[in-house]
Structure 1
Amino acid sequence: MSKKVHEFNDIIRKLRKDLFGKGPERIHTVFVENMAISTLYGNLTPTETFIAKTSEGREMVHLARTKMIQDVYAEGPPEGLEELVGAKFVHLFSDIKIEENIAVSVFIFDKNIT
């Protein structure tokens, strides 16, 4: 893993830990042109796992997780993210599969990642 990918993953992990109380257990990120595509494994807190035992609970955890992360990035990227990749953050697409405890985030930047 390159140093840039490792540092990118650390920024993502810290933000999610601060936001949700638990960061992902593992993150796999690839840079493709102007995108960083991250697959995040082991995201849910024990409380979220308990709530997600019902279909209504899964829907609630999914909505809360996706909405919260979208809102945070809409306010601006985490400190150091743009400097690390050498490009301005434009948008985040994010989703989580509650049953498998896997999330995917696609970070879009204004130019190719250097």
Structure 2
Amino acid sequence: MEKGGFYELEYREHGLGIAITAIFLAGEMAGTGVLSLPHALKDTSFYGLMLITLFTVNTMYVGSRLGLCWVMMEERYEKFRGQVRDPYPSIGEVAIGKIGRHVSSICIACTLYGGGCVIIVLIS
């Protein structure tokens, strides 16, 4: 199958683009949390609302710090200026070394495993 051939064109027309894929992934991740949110709020009452607010502010802060870390890495290291497949482990490696890369990779794997388990439980 040559590049730009009929099959590649057909795949592009009927496949998912980056924007649609990002929307589906964001919807899946947000949808999982939204499904369990009413029961969690019922069990925690007012304190649950305070915790949600605290966690939202915390997530916004950490996201902005990670973005600034990535901008600094792009400015200082030329190899990070293009597309990078593993941005979080790369940030960990630049900040701490190989241990930072491994710890962040383990955290990512545990997060994805836990999210997958929640989805499987919700499906069943």
Higher relative contact order (CA 8 A, sep 6+): 1
TM-based fold match above 0.5: no
- Which of the two has greater helix per residue? 2
- Which of the two has greater strand per residue? 1
**How high is the TM-score relative to the length of structure 1?**
0.33
Q: Greater CA radius of gyration, 1 or 2?
A: 2
